[in-house]
């Protein structure tokens, strides 16, 4: 694994370098300084705009909780991040038969709350961590697109899913051609930076987003412009630029640092693939799984599938 090179348009990277850079990025993003998990816990209105709340994740979590209330239910949360999926799964009363394992690369897993029904371990989800097809649920929320070969990683996750089990993942949606081009150009400059420097740069995107949000006036697009990926409609200035030209996230419910996190999360991780829904549905067909549910928002797709018994 260490030997292959991933060639992107702008740079090539060894697997070991990818692991190191991704871990450094998310160790900062989820670390004690920025304390994203406490911020989300204390600010439900901030949490409400996250794709993890907008896509059908809450409904999947309800299904798992219902099952784990009556029978042993094992969950592998691949790339568990700051532990939000377990927080949702274990809301009081925690289902008694839930057995949860979260795996991620970053250094902050030991800071997540201890719970007898949860294990958090540091590891690389591109590798087969568990030898058998053993989990009732495999979850990979907003992380496959950060791995060097997402389709391969997905296949690897499927090998750890029990017959009859459910796999669910979300991944970035493709944007307009102008957004795609500016994302790639800016990422090619920001990805090589160290995490602290990139985090500092992220502030500029937040300030731009904030100032554009404070700009009066509306942009009216009279017709769909399919070549440009622009839909007819009326847009606020920041909304229009954000959606079609440049990611510059800002939300008044977030502190400055926490707005910066969202921009940092977009521009600095080494890999951030974007997909049309058809492309990722194909991964499911390819593994012989049954697609049971999809959903799409501007930012991401959600897919849920079952393995035959």
Identify residues 109-128 at the interface with ligand SAM (CB under 6 A). Answer: 124-126
Rank residues 143 and 289 by Cβ distance to ligand SAM and give the closer one: 143
Q: Are 254 and 42 in contact (CB under 8 A)?
A: no
Residue 297, φ and ψ in degrees, nearest 5: -120, 175
CB of 226 to ligand SAM, least distance (A): 30
> Which positions from 59 to 88 touch ligand SAM by CB under 6 A, shown as an x/- string?
--------------------xxx--x----
Is residue 106 a contact residue for ligand SAM (CB under 6 A)?
yes
Residue of closest CB approach to ligand SAM:
81
Is residue 108 a contact residue for ligand SAM (CB under 6 A)?
no
Torsion of CA 268, 139, 114, 92, to 10 degrees: 120
Q: Are 294 and 171 in contact (CB under 8 A)?
A: no
Rank residues 103 and 195 by Cβ distance to ligand SAM and give the closer one: 103
Identify residues 24-43 at the interface with ligand SAM (CB under 6 A). Answer: 26
Residue 102 β-bridge partners: 77, 120
The span from the CA of 11 to the CA of 70, in Å, is: 50
Instruction: Give the number of other Cβ atoms within 10 Å of residue 259's Cβ.
Output: 24
Rank residues 195 and 248 by Cβ distance to ligand SAM and give the closer one: 195
The span from the CA of 124 to the CA of 303, in Å, is: 22
CA distance to 106, 127, 227, 271, 278, per residue, from 86 (Å): 16, 22, 42, 25, 29
What DSSP state is assigned to residue 297?
Answer: -
Rank residues 22 and 173 by Cβ distance to ligand SAM and give the closer one: 22
Rank residues 44 and 164 by Cβ distance to ligand SAM and give the closer one: 44
Q: Are 296 and 173 in contact (CB under 8 A)?
A: yes
Is residue 142 a contact residue for ligand SAM (CB under 6 A)?
yes
Identify residues 185-244 at the interface with ligand SAM (CB under 6 A). Answer: none
CB of 153 to ligand SAM, least distance (A): 7
Segment near ligand SAM (CB under 6 A); pick from 35-43, 103-111, 213-221, 249-257: 103-111
CB of 94 to ligand SAM, least distance (A): 19
The span from the CA of 72 to the CA of 43, in Å, is: 32
């Amino acid at each position: 694994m260490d030997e292959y090179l991933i060639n992107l348009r702008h740079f090539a990277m060894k697997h070991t370098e990818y692991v190191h850079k991704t871990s450094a990025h998310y160790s900062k993003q989820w670390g004690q300084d920025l304390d994203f998990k406490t911020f989300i816990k204390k600010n439900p209105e901030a949490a409400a705009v996250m794709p993890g709340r907008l896509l059908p994740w809450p409904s999947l979590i309800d299904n798992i909780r219902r099952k784990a209330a009556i029978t042993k239910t094992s969950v592998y949360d691949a790339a568990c991040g700051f532990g939000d999926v377990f927080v949702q799964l274990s809301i009081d009363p925690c289902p008694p038969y839930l057995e949860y394992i979260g795996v991620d690369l970053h250094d902050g897993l030991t800071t997540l709350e201890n719970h007898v029904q949860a294990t958090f371990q540091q590891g690389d989800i591109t590798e087969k961590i568990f030898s058998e097809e053993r989990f009732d649920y495999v979850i990979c929320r907003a992380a496959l697109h950060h791995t060097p070969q997402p389709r391969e990683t997905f296949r690897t996750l499927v090998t750890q899913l029990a017959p009859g089990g459910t796999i669910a993942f979300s991944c970035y949606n493709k944007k307009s051609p102008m957004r795609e081009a500016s994302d790639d150009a800016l990422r090619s400059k920001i990805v090589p930076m160290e995490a602290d420097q990139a985090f500092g740069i992220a502030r500029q995107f937040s300030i731009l987003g904030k100032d554009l949000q404070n700009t009066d006036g509306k942009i009216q697009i009279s017709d769909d412009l399919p070549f440009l990926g622009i839909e007819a409609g009326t847009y606020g200035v920041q909304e229009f630029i954000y959606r079609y030209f440049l990611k510059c996230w800002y939300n008044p419910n977030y502190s400055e640092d926490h707005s910066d996190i969202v921009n940092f999360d977009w521009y600095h991780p080494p890999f951030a693939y974007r997909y049309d829904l058809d492309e990722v549905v194909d991964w499911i067909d390819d593994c012989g799984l049954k697609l049971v549910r999809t959903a799409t928002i501007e930012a991401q797709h959600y897919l849920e599938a079952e393995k035959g018994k």
